[in-house]
Amino acid sequence: MNKITVALAGNPNCGKTTVFNMLTGARQHVANYPGVTVERKDGFCVYKNYNIRFVDLPGTYSLTAYSVEEIVARNFIIDEHPDVVVDVIDSSNIERNLYLTTQLIEMDVPLVLAFNMSDVARHNGLVFNIEAMSGLLEAEIVLTVGSKCDGGNELLDAILRTVEKQKNTRRHKISYGSEINEKVSQLSRLIAKLEDKKLKKYNSDWLAIKLLEQDKQIAEKIENEEVKLKASESIIDVKKILGDEPEVIIADRRYGFISGACQETIKKTVEFRHSFSDTIDSVLTNQVIGLPIFLFLMFITFQITFTLGSYPMEWLENFFDWLCKVTINYWPGDNMLWLRSLLVEGVIRGVGGVVMFLPNILLLFASIAILEATGYMARAAFIMDRIMHKIGLHGKSFIPMIIGFGCSVPAIMATRILENRRNRLTTIMVIPLMSCGARFAIYGLLIPAFFQLKWQGTMFWLIYVIGIIIAIICVKLLRLTVFKGETVPFVMELPPYRMPTFKALGIYTWQRGWMYLKKAGTVILLVSIVLWFAKTYPKPAPQSLQGFNAQQVHEMNLSSSVIGRIGKAIEPAIKPLGFDWKIGTALVGSIAAKELFITQMAIVYAVESDVEQSHNLRYHLQEAYTEHRALTGFCIMLFCLISSPCIATVVMTKHETGSWGWAMFQFFGLTILAYIVTLIVYQVGILFAG
């Protein structure tokens, strides 16, 4: 069995992923390239005695050093030497797509071109002379329709033929005009003579071109002074003679080459002005109704995710409850009750709490996948951009933030749709300020407990709005300090509208769901177990509990446990906020998951730890906090709103940003902010009330 590696390159929106899916089926693995947050997709298939590993490179418009995706893509080609590179091309948009092809030709890799979306091209009246074009580009060309699984075998055959063929040097090199061609060969000769081992893996012609283009990554790799001098002299010469930077002229000549090749080999048989996509766009991006349509679609996405998803969520919840009951009922005798408690309250509750959200996650990502695959996402970014721009964010940031109102974990995962790193980091940092579902439950407990009926509606609205306002302020601050820099100029392609395939949606949704299970699940499980130990041990000596009633025993158990002690320890720090040690324990506990705030409060007041019966808890809270009741209630909510996101969020932040540093920044940053804001509010409030 022969083993080969094939890399897939291509523009964004060219259907590369669909072709990848066609070739590999569900046999894929998604990860990150080391050190960067660029996604890496590997897959494989077995065909005619070959075991083929496919690597789906990030979609790029070119292979320069200007963006991390491009660097990752070209580094892969240079460092890992795939046996073949398949360039997936949107044949309905061929001239722009071939720009990337010219750069692959310059890298002198064994190339196969997949003219994808050939059905659309045919529909648009384009007729290709495949043989002639194949000759000019010196690469086999296969017509494919990825979405219909058409052309897969032909593509595989072409790949194998290319692998088995002897590699000849190209006959048709791209010409940049005599002046630049000369500079390239002079530089290339100089580079070829260098003894530098690190440069051996590069084609010297390619290095010469990159140096003339002032490619930052390559410039750093060349240490030889003579070469560097020759390069800068050549650049100045070209500017003098031709009036422009070599970089610009080379790009221009590439398009010239493409234009020439296309003119000879492509015929347009239908004259075609206004397309179907244009008609839809005139409605969807219309000044007046574009925005309402977008908000409506967001509303639907939300409904699908959280309302529709609540049914399977309930089933899962019931399943885990049943699991708890079974464990308790079938437990052999009275031995090792601590283990039973650990399993029920630690493991099952912990894992259950995370797995329970899986249906929501799947529905959410299915919705996003549909929006993205049809091409609507690009229009949404365009519509929201003006508003988001005023805050300092990109139009696309709106979508993860809306999701954040349901749950921060999938919202942070959703920031993958933001290409700009600074933008993405800023959005991730403030997503926890969008009051998530768990916080909603907390407000649902506290507002009726601390406020009179006529104020309750207003308070709900107020706390959500405060979250948004603080988020906006934080974004502005972050943009001025940590994530300083000009908002990256916004250039985006609006791809033609397309019908997504179920297969692609299914694979994409499942991949995201699995990622969620793995990451949030493992850490939450661990933390739940740790928390269980922290709230159960150490127990007070049984003798000391003699003579106290159930309520008091409960309180003593709690205060001797680790969590209780931490609560007491931080009490002096949180007193200026109007909190006592009981609230302190609840806050500490809620770090694992915000819902645990309610559970912990229930434990503190020794009621059934069941949210449905929280009206008991409400009563207890009303009794306990009679002084400055409204203010205390408000401060608790404020603190819950702003403070550290739950562990699952922190872990997801680390996963999406690639470093614990950012996760900690988010965690501590928000907690400190919560402390300061609540402190000010409480102290000022006391002044007015007192």
Of the ranges 39-47, 171-179, 190-198, 237-245, which one interacts with another protein (CB under 8 A)? 237-245
Verify binding: residue 397, another protein, rule CB under 8 A. no
Verify binding: residue 485, another protein, rule CB under 8 A. no
Verify binding: residue 105, another protein, rule CB under 8 A. no
Verify binding: residue 263, another protein, rule CB under 8 A. no
Nearer to another protein among residue 99 and residue 202 (C-beta): 99
Of the ranges 300-308, 321-329, 380-388, 540-548, which one interacts with another protein (CB under 8 A)? 380-388
Nearer to another protein among residue 131 and residue 244 (C-beta): 244
Can you tell me the distance from the alpha carbon of 589 to that of 597, in angstroms, rounded to the nearest whole number? 6
Shortest reach from residue 16's CB to another protein, in Å: 16
Cα 331–337–341 angle (5° rounding)? 90
Verify binding: residue 99, another protein, rule CB under 8 A. yes
Verify binding: residue 489, another protein, rule CB under 8 A. yes
Nearer to another protein among residue 80 and residue 233 (C-beta): 233
3-state secondary structure string, 528-579?
HHHHHHHHHCCCCCHHHHCCCCHHHHHHHHHHHCHHHHHHHHHHHHHHHHCC
Can you tell me the distance from the alpha carbon of 339 to that of 462, in angstroms, rounded to the nearest whole number? 44
Shortest reach from residue 266's CB to another protein, in Å: 11
Contact 427, 400 (CB under 8 A): yes
Nearer to another protein among residue 90 and residue 345 (C-beta): 90
Which of 599, 250, 644, 640 is closest to 463 using CA atoms?
640
Verify binding: residue 34, another protein, rule CB under 8 A. no
Verify binding: residue 269, another protein, rule CB under 8 A. no
**Interface positions, 170-229, toward another protein (CB under 8 A):** 214
First and final C-alpha spacing in the chain: 83
Q: 166, 201, 243, 690: which one contacts another protein (CB under 8 A)? A: 243
Shortest reach from residue 201's CB to another protein, in Å: 24
Can you tell me the distance from the alpha carbon of 62 to that of 10, in angstroms, rounded to the nearest whole number? 9
Phi first, then psi: give them for residue 126, nearest 5 degrees. -90, 135
Per-residue contact string for residues 491-510; x = within reach of another protein by CB under 8 A: xxxxxx--------------
Shortest reach from residue 512's CB to another protein, in Å: 27
**Interface positions, 425-464, toward another protein (CB under 8 A):** none
Shortest reach from residue 589's CB to another protein, in Å: 46
Nearer to another protein among residue 167 and residue 389 (C-beta): 389
Can you tell me the distance from the alpha carbon of 421 to that of 412, in angstroms, rounded to the nearest whole number? 13
Can you tell me the distance from the alpha carbon of 350 to that of 598, in angstroms, rounded to the nearest whole number? 15
Residue 216, C-beta contacts closer than 8 angstroms, at least 6 positions apart: 65
Can you tell me the distance from the alpha carbon of 472 to that of 404, in angstroms, rounded to the nearest whole number? 14
Verify binding: residue 374, another protein, rule CB under 8 A. no
Verify binding: residue 378, another protein, rule CB under 8 A. yes
Shortest reach from residue 651's CB to another protein, in Å: 33
Q: 30, 248, 545, 553: which one contacts another protein (CB under 8 A)? A: 248
**What's the one-letter identity of residue 338?**
W
Q: 236, 573, 672, 680: which one contacts another protein (CB under 8 A)? A: 236
Nearer to another protein among residue 114 and residue 640 (C-beta): 114
**Interface positions, 289-328, toward another protein (CB under 8 A):** none
Strands 50-56 and 111-116: unpaired
Shortest reach from residue 493's CB to another protein, in Å: 6
Residue 306, C-beta contacts closer than 8 angstroms, at least 6 positions apart: 360, 406, 437
Nearer to another protein among residue 11 and residue 367 (C-beta): 11
Helix (H, G, I), strand (E, B) or coil at 60: coil
Nearer to another protein among residue 95 and residue 223 (C-beta): 95
Verify binding: residue 237, another protein, rule CB under 8 A. no
Nearer to another protein among residue 64 and residue 134 (C-beta): 64
Contact 96, 11 (CB under 8 A): yes
Helix (H, G, I), strand (E, B) or coil at 249: helix
Can you tell me the distance from the alpha carbon of 187 to that of 212, in angstroms, rounded to the nearest whole number? 9
Q: 197, 200, 240, 484: which one contacts another protein (CB under 8 A)? A: 240
Residue 273 tokens read as: 């002005």
Verify binding: residue 490, another protein, rule CB under 8 A. yes
Contact 98, 88 (CB under 8 A): no
Contact 232, 177 (CB under 8 A): no
Shortest reach from residue 345's CB to another protein, in Å: 53
Verify binding: residue 608, another protein, rule CB under 8 A. no
Sheet hosting strand 39-47, strand order edge to edge = 28-32, 39-47, 50-56, 2-10, 84-90, 111-116, 140-143
Nearer to another protein among residue 163 and residue 219 (C-beta): 219
Residue 26, C-beta contacts closer than 8 angstroms, at least 6 positions apart: 507, 510
Verify binding: residue 37, another protein, rule CB under 8 A. no
Strands 126-128 and 266-268: antiparallel
**Interface positions, 52-81, toward another protein (CB under 8 A):** 61-62, 64, 66
Can you tell me the distance from the alpha carbon of 234 to that of 238, in angstroms, rounded to the nearest whole number? 6
Q: Determine the angle formed by the axes of helices 376-391 and 276-284, rounding to 10 degrees.
A: 30
Strands 2-10 and 84-90: parallel
Nearer to another protein among residue 426 and residue 600 (C-beta): 426
Shortest reach from residue 208's CB to another protein, in Å: 18
Q: 7, 88, 94, 471: which one contacts another protein (CB under 8 A)? A: 94
- Which residues of this protein are in contact with another protein, per CB under 8 A? 61-62, 64, 66, 92-96, 99-100, 214, 232, 236, 240, 242-244, 247-248, 251-252, 255, 277-278, 281, 285, 287, 378, 382, 385-386, 389, 489-496
